[in-house]
Amino acid sequence: MADIPTTPRGNWDSKLGFILAAAGSAVGLGNIWRFPTEAASNGGAAFLLIYLACCFLIGFPVMIAEMSIGRSSKKNPVGAFRSLSTNKFFPLVGIWGVLCGVMILSFYTVIAGWTFSHVFVEIFVYAEMFEVASFLADFENGYVNAVFAILFMACTIGIIRGGVSNGIERATKLMMPMLLIILVIMTVYVLFQPGAGEGIEIYLYPDFSMIDMELILAAMGQAFFSLSLGMGAIITYGSYLGKKENIAEAAGFVTLADVGIAFLAGLLILPTIYMAQAEGVQIFDAEGNFLAGPALIFQLLPELFAQMGGITGLLFGVLFFSLLSIAALTSTISLLEVPVSYVIDEHKIKRKSAALYVGLGILVISLIISFNTALIDTIDFTFSVIGLPLGGLLICIFLGYVWKTENAIEEIKHGYENVKDTFFAKAWTVFVKFVCPLIILIILIQTIYNNYFSS
């Protein structure tokens, strides 16, 4: 028995294990499905710029905040707020986080199901069984959506039942580097295709006149979603982290990895969108919305693989969708881990049953969404775009004014001994106490005002 856990809650086996698991949570459909779609419908480079600012100025400080809350309390989000202060309000923030996690996971599972089904679509296309392929690729077919959502949830539940180092850590170690490699190869391929230029231009040359409140809100929501922040996923993962590790360094690595992969995905998908448009495929409606809705990349990428043709197309298609499924899986396990750790800690239920029952409960919502995919946009907007920044705002307020930054710095000291006197510590304190909450608050208030009070 080499593997004696230091706490009954489980621990990461190694530092790399934690970083990869946190990066695995961050990197997912948010980078490859959500980011390019949002960027394309919000003016390309202008969105990219604001998104990058949100990731580094708000996301990175909030990630350090979540990691330190998690490691100090060794609890799920609800228990963490309860154990670090006597304030009665903040455990509710934990509950809000659990709710956001549940709702995000419910639609995420359906989209992850599309990713998985496309592995088979690619194979059937290669085998020239076009009828089966288009049957499986039909997003309007609730039954197909449901079957793949069930398969995906089953995998997620299976891994979460395996626990922290056995399940989550092992699954991430191999897959993350592989995804990066295939993404780079595909991006290089696309960049050399005729017609890629317009997409690259839109993605990289900002038109500042595009920046308005709606774009800023979308970019901030995307930053929170992509970095897995605002709902306690990183609090939960941080609660399994050993005292030797350097939180600031880990958060920096995760942020860079996540932003880097999103940037690459944009470089792949935006040119693809404009290449398809140049070929006469109608992509946007009059308002600039995608005609295909959330299914857009699942229509465009297969075209790209078909264009590569033959066995190359098959290989890239199958590999890409397999790796994207795995990237989605490392995110769904972090989403499910939040409500599961809550149920284990607070209601003293065993991990195996908690994972099963919570997972099945969420699957019920996923099945409803499978038959009503129009719900995805509404749930996504409510719980990702509004819900996560709201959670992030409350986490900053908790850390800055209730638990206090001095205590957090004491926690960060484990693994980063002389942090107290560094510029980093001073800057981070100012960001968590003032900059982040203020920016988030202004954006949220402006949005509510624009939506409900201005004509």
3-state secondary structure of 291: coil
CB contact at 8 A, 366 and 153? yes
Q: Which is nearer to ligand PHE, 133 or 365 (CB)?
A: 365
Q: Given the rule CB under 6 A, which of 60-68, 89-97, 226-234, 358-366 is the region that contacts ligand PHE?
A: 226-234
CA gap 335, 200 in Å, rounded: 33
Determine the size of the site formed for ligand PHE (CB under 6 A).
Answer: 15
- What torsion do the CA atoms of 24, 180, 263, 324 make, to the nearest 10 degrees? -60
Q: Which of 72, 226, 255, 447 binds ligand PHE (CB under 6 A)?
A: 226
* Backbone phi, psi, residue 373, to 5°: -65, -15
Q: Which is nearer to ligand PHE, 28 or 44 (CB)?
A: 28
Q: Please name the residues in contact with 84: beta carbons below 8 A apart, sequence gap of 6 or more.
A: 69, 72, 73, 398, 402, 403, 407
CA gap 409, 416 in Å, rounded: 10
User: Shortest Cβ distance from residue 29 to ligand PHE (Å)?
Assistant: 4
Q: Which is nearer to ligand PHE, 354 or 409 (CB)?
A: 354
Site string for ligand PHE, 14-33 (x = CB under 6 A): -----------xx-xxxx--
Q: In sequence order, what are the beta bridge partners of 290?
A: 284
User: Shortest Cβ distance from residue 371 to ligand PHE (Å)?
Assistant: 23
Residue with nearest beta carbon to ligand PHE: 30
User: Shortest Cβ distance from residue 381 to ligand PHE (Å)?
Assistant: 14
User: Shortest Cβ distance from residue 228 to ligand PHE (Å)?
Assistant: 4
* 228 binding ligand PHE? (CB under 6 A): yes
CA gap 61, 64 in Å, rounded: 5
User: Shortest Cβ distance from residue 101 to ligand PHE (Å)?
Assistant: 6
User: Shortest Cβ distance from residue 267 to ligand PHE (Å)?
Assistant: 17
Q: Which is nearer to ligand PHE, 25 or 370 (CB)?
A: 25
Q: Which is nearer to ligand PHE, 276 or 393 (CB)?
A: 393
Residue type, 14: S
Q: Which of 212, 210, 214, 193 is nearest to 202 (CA)?
A: 210
User: Shortest Cβ distance from residue 265 to ligand PHE (Å)?
Assistant: 10
Q: Residues 123-127: contacts with CB within 8 Å, 24+ apart?
A: 123/314, 123/318, 125/302, 125/305, 125/306, 125/314, 125/317, 126/311, 126/313, 126/314, 126/317
Site string for ligand PHE, 326-345 (x = CB under 6 A): -----x--xx----------
Q: Which is nearer to ligand PHE, 115 or 429 (CB)?
A: 115
Q: Which of 161, 272, 163, 248 is nearest to 428 (CA)?
A: 248
CA gap 185, 267 in Å, rounded: 12
CB contact at 8 A, 376 and 294? yes
Q: Which of 64, 102, 104, 344 binds ligand PHE (CB under 6 A)?
A: 104
CA gap 23, 38 in Å, rounded: 21
Backbone φ/ψ region at 443: left (φ over 0), alpha (ψ -120 to 50), beta: alpha
* 73 binding ligand PHE? (CB under 6 A): no
Q: Given the rule CB under 6 A, which of 36-44, 85-93, 151-159, 224-232 is the region that contacts ligand PHE?
A: 224-232
Positions 236 through 295 that interact with ligand PHE (CB under 6 A)? none
**Token duo for residue 314:** 């098959």
* 67 binding ligand PHE? (CB under 6 A): no
User: Shortest Cβ distance from residue 112 to ligand PHE (Å)?
Assistant: 9
User: Shortest Cβ distance from residue 453 to ligand PHE (Å)?
Assistant: 30
Q: Which is nearer to ligand PHE, 257 or 419 (CB)?
A: 257
Q: Which of 183, 220, 233, 409 binds ligand PHE (CB under 6 A)?
A: 233
Q: Which is nearer to ligand PHE, 29 or 340 (CB)?
A: 29
Burial status of residue 14 (CB atoms within 10 A of its CB: 0-12, 13-18, 19 or more): middle
Residue type, 217: L
Q: Which is nearer to ligand PHE, 121 or 262 (CB)?
A: 262
* 231 binding ligand PHE? (CB under 6 A): yes
Binding site for ligand PHE (CB under 6 A): 25-26, 28-31, 104, 225-226, 228, 231, 233, 331, 334-335
